Amino acid sequence: MLTLWDLIEPVVKVFRSGQSIPAARRAPRRRPTTTPRHVPGRGVRERYEAVARELLATHGIRVRKWRRSSSGVAVVLTYRDGSVRKYIECPRPRGPMSMAIFLHEVGHHVIGVGTVSPRCLEELRAWQFAIAEMERRGLNITQAVRRRMDRSLRYAVGKAARRGIQSLPPELRAYAA
pLDDT digits (tens, 9 = 90+) for 152-164: 999 999 999 999 9
* % of the chain with per-residue pLDDT over 70: 77
Give rounded-to-5 percent helix, strand, coil for the chain.
50, 15, 35
Extended beta strands in the chain, E state: 11-13, 20-22, 61-67, 73-78, 84-91
* Cα angle, residue 151 at apex, residues 125 and 177 outer, rounded to 5°: 95
Distances (CA, A) of 113 to 77, 163, 166: 11, 20, 22
Name the more confident of 17 and 112: 112
Mean pLDDT of 59-69: 95
Give the model's pLDDT for residue 29.
Answer: 65
Alpha-helix runs per DSSP H in 19-86: 42-59
Ranges of each domain in the chain: 45-159
Q: Quote the pLDDT of residue 17.
A: 53
| Mean pLDDT, rounded, for 8-33 | 58
For the stretch 108-153, pLDDT in tens is 999 999 899 999 999 999 999 999 999 999 999 999 999 999 999 9
Sign of CA dihedral 126, 127, 128, 134: positive
Say if residues 151 and 125 touch (Cβ distance below 8 Å). Answer: no
